[in-house]
Amino acid sequence: ETGVTQSPTHLIKTRGQQVTLRCSSQSGHNTVSWYQQALGQGPQFIFQYYREEENGRGNFPPRFSGLQFPNYSSELNVNALELDDSALYLCASSSWDRGYNEQFFGPGTRLTVL
Amino acid sequence: AQSVTQLDSQVPVFEEAPVELRCNYSSSVSVYLFWYVQYPNQGLQLLLKYLSGSTLVKGINGFEAEFNKSQTSFHLRKPSVHISDTAEYFCAVSMNQGGKLIFGQGTELSVKP
């Protein structure tokens, strides 16, 4: 069983640019959640996708957007990057259809905004 | 709204000593409780969870936690730590089993020889 994978591992952008982060969910999972983890902080919920629809959103501005594809992989897009967007971005996959819905986390993408 | 407070940002401890990492939560509704571990440059791994039933929960790597509803606490314990337990530990709550997780700030456990 393949776990949750994320790409890229690291990337560096400058203020004002746009970035796309990718997440492949674990086999059999239909739900992906995205979290932002700033340095020295706990992860903060950005949003969740279930069967290609947004299923909850945290306190993040609209320039944070996402997509989920028919194969349940997902993208996180951030427009007009700001310095404070520098963080580790984690995705987690789970399955709403199978009783207890443990979220399995990927290794994250480290984004640095200069 | 739910919130989580981890009372210690850093916990240094010697190898083979017992350890307790403290977690308090605030919620007006019933919640599910979790402890995650994060090793350097890695994602989060679930250590244990409380969904219902017995208030003493056993997890992986010899960790256990006790849910105390009256004190709104969910402290993590291990009777004897190893060097390999050195990591960041996060307490989290959720209103449902698959919904958003609300994390505490984390506790850095440092195990010294």
Q: What is the pLDDT of residue B35?
A: 97
Average pLDDT over residues A29-41: 93
Q: For residues A64 and B111, is the Cβ–Cβ distance under 8 A?
A: no
Q: From the candidates B41, B60, B101, which should be mutated to test the interface with A, based on the most A CB atoms within 10 A?
A: B101
Confidence check: pLDDT of B92 > 80 = yes
Q: Which residue has the higher pLDDT, A98 or A110?
A: A110
Confidence check: pLDDT of A100 > 90 = no
Q: Which two tokens stand for residue A84?
A: 């404070």
Greatest CA separation for chain B? 42
Q: What is the pLDDT of residue B97?
A: 65
Q: How confident is the model at residue A99 (pLDDT cuts 50, 70, 90)?
A: low
Question: A58 to chain B: which residues are within 8 Å by CB?
Answer: 100
* DSSP SS3 for A97: coil
Q: What is the distance in angstroms between the Cα of B100 and the nearest Cα belonging to chain A? A: 6
Q: Show the CA angle centred on residue B51, arms to residues B69 and B59, nearest 5°.
A: 100
Confidence check: pLDDT of B104 > 70 = yes
Q: What is the pLDDT of residue B40?
A: 87
Question: A106 to chain B: which residues are within 8 Å by CB?
Answer: 43
CA dist., res. A81 & res. A95, Å (int):
31
Q: How confident is the model at residue A1 (pLDDT cuts 50, 70, 90)?
A: low
Q: For residues B102 and B6, is the Cβ–Cβ distance under 8 A?
A: no
Computed over every residue of chain A, the mean pLDDT equals 92
Facing B44 at nearest CB: one of A31, A48, A90: A90
Tell me: the pLDDT tens digits for B25-84? Answer: 998 788 899 999 999 888 899 999 998 888 999 999 999 999 999 999 999 999 999 999
